[in-house]
């Protein structure tokens, strides 16, 4: 269990680092847009992301 969790965390860090490495200007623009959104909008994006992750886990597991 611990090894799987660490592997998942490592993969998350790799995936999160791809956009700032490949296109830093686009990443900066996206981040500034996110920072200017209202709290409700950011929460909705977070909830949508979590639900998509759960669905993908259910499909591929």
Q: Give the integer Cα–Cα distance in Å for 59 and 57.
A: 5
Burial of 27 (0-12, 13-18, 19+ CB in 10 A): middle
Domain count, the chain: 1
Range of the domain at 13: 2-60
Model confidence over 3-61: pLDDT tens digits? Answer: 888 998 999 999 999 999 999 999 999 989 999 999 999 999 999 999 999 998 899 87
Global pTM? 0.71
């Amino acid at each position: 269990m611990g090894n799987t969790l660490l592997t998942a965390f490592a993969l998350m860090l790799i995936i999160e680092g791809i956009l700032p490495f490949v296109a830093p200007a686009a990443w900066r623009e996206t981040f500034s847009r996110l920072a200017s959104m209202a709290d409700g909008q950011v929460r909705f994006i977070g909830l949508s992301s979590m639900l998509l992750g759960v669905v993908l886990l259910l499909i591929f597991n």
